[in-house]
């Protein structure tokens, strides 16, 4: 059953009920979260009339506070972000149930473009990134999370982060005549797969590429999403390309690019709200603003309603490849504005 089935009205009705319940759950199980809401004047049991009225946390708070809704002895896995944008690394606490749910829902989302079979998988990374199985970086968590959807994994980089051209050639000789899965972070895919495939005239036409990550390095060399797709198609034959937007603070929730390209879509258990950075009101279609992400998956920590540090725009509603909102990510907020988002909650929680 597709997780891209709900129209926007049905989605918002269902999510409002689930996210209201989750807000109460986290309030009852996280003293810090309860303190945040109380400081904002939000009473326990208070109803919300729309997704837009649910209280959000700045994603940066997970860099500065340990926010979890499970006892310490139930912590199964701790995920950490890269911390590259300053303010340390986010720490996300999962119990066994939460870890299982995020894997299942990620699988259900990706099944939309991968089908039900596990395909041979080319990882555009190094195996050393997943060596520590208890505490992962964001990159390691992404690689390990995606690895479960493939088989016969081959890594395109050696343990010194250098391209292993022979390994890629051997993989294609064995699996290249039938559908295979490729995963990597966007800039690494360009540098270590596209350039290698172009220079060695490798045929990737049966591949299905899932990729994500910042575009800044590629934009700096004049490669945007359309150019990325065009060059892969022309030089390697690869046309089934799906970008996605996600973050470790909502692990398991990914906003997937539709088959037509150039727009991201929300799975049925999630949504995005684009907020005006001055008024925090929801922006109309076509007007850029700060991306808020909501998801019913985070139950072991209060990450169900998050204000990101990214800019985005909704292009349309119920008018694309799949139902719901279709949107794009435009880039990071300027650092000063990002701090401003967090300042909204300053003093709400003791460090």
Domain finish residue from 188, 209, 239: 239
Residues 172 and 281 grouped into a single domain? no
State the chain's mean pLDDT as an integer: 89
Specify the CATH number for the domain of residue 13: 3.40.50.12780
Token pair belonging to 285:
């279609």
Q: How many CA atoms are closer than 13 Å to the CA of 101, on its beta-carbon side? A: 15
Mean pLDDT over 215-235 rounds to 89
Measured between alpha carbons, how far is 125 from 188 in angstroms, rounded to an integer? 8
What local confidence, expressed as pLDDT, does residue 116 receive? 85
Whether residues 175 and 269 fall in one domain: no
User: Is there a domain that residue 274 lies in?
Assistant: yes
Q: 235 and 154, same structural domain?
A: yes
CATH code for position 178: 3.40.250
pLDDT in tens, 7-58: 999 999 999 999 999 999 999 999 999 999 999 999 998 899 999 999 999 9
Residue 351's pLDDT band (cuts 50, 70, 90): very low
Shared-domain flag, residues 116 and 233: yes
- Domain count of the fold of the chain: 2
Which domain-ending residue is among 239, 274, 293?
A: 239
Q: And the tokens for 58?
A: 């700045």
Mean pLDDT over 321-334 rounds to 92
Domain hosting 72: range is: 8-94+251-332
Q: How far apart are CA 235 and CA 202, in angstroms?
A: 9
Regarding whether 220 and 319 lie in a shared domain, the answer is no
In a domain, 38, yes or no: yes
- Domain assignment present for residue 344? The answer is no
Average pLDDT over residues 286-292: 97
176 or 222: which leads in pLDDT: 176
Residues 177, 202, single domain; the answer is yes
Task: Say if residue 63 is in the same domain as residue 89.
Answer: yes
Q: pTM to 2 decimals?
A: 0.87
Q: What percent of the chain has pLDDT over 90?
A: 70
């Amino acid at each position: 059953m597709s997780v891209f089935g709900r129209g926007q009205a049905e989605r918002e009705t269902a999510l409002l009920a689930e996210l209201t319940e989750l807000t109460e759950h986290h309030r009852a199980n996280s003293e810090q979260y309860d303190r945040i809401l109380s400081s904002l004047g939000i009473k326990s049991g208070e109803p919300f009339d729309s997704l837009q009225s649910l209280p959000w946390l700045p994603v940066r708070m997970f860099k500065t506070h340990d926010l979890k809704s499970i006892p310490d002895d139930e912590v199964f896995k701790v995920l950490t972000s890269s911390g590259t944008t300053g303010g340390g690394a986010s720490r996300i606490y999962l119990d066994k149930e939460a870890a299982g749910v995020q894997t299942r829902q990620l699988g259900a989302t990706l099944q939309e473009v991968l089908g039900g079979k596990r395909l041979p998988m080319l990882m555009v990374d190094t195996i050393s990134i997943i060596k520590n199985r208890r505490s992962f970086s964001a990159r390691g968590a992404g690689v390990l999370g995606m690895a479960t959807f493939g088989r016969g994994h081959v890594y395109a980089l050696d343990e010194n982060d250098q391209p292993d051209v022979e390994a890629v050639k051997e993989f294609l000789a064995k699996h290249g005549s039938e559908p295979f899965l490729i995963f990597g972070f966007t800039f690494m895919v360009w540098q270590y797969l596209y350039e290698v495939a172009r220079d060695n005239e490798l045929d990737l036409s049966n591949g299905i590429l899932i990729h994500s990550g910042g575009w800044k390095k590629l934009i700096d060399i004049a490669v945007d999403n359309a150019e990325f797709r065009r060059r892969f198609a022309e030089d390697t034959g690869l046309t089934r390309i799906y970008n996605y937007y996600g973050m470790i603070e909502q692990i398991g929730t990914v906003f997937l690019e539709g088959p037509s390209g150039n727009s991201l879509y929300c799975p049925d258990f999630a949504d995005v709200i684009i907020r005006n950075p001055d008024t925090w009101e929801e922006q109309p279609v076509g007007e850029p603003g700060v991306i808020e992400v909501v998801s019913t998956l985070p139950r072991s920590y209060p990450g169900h309603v998050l204000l990101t540090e990214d800019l985005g725009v909704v292009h349309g509603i119920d008018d694309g490849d799949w139902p719901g909102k279709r949107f794009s990510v435009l880039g990071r907020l300027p650092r000063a504005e990002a701090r401003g988002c967090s300042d909204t909650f300053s003093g709400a929680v003791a460090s």
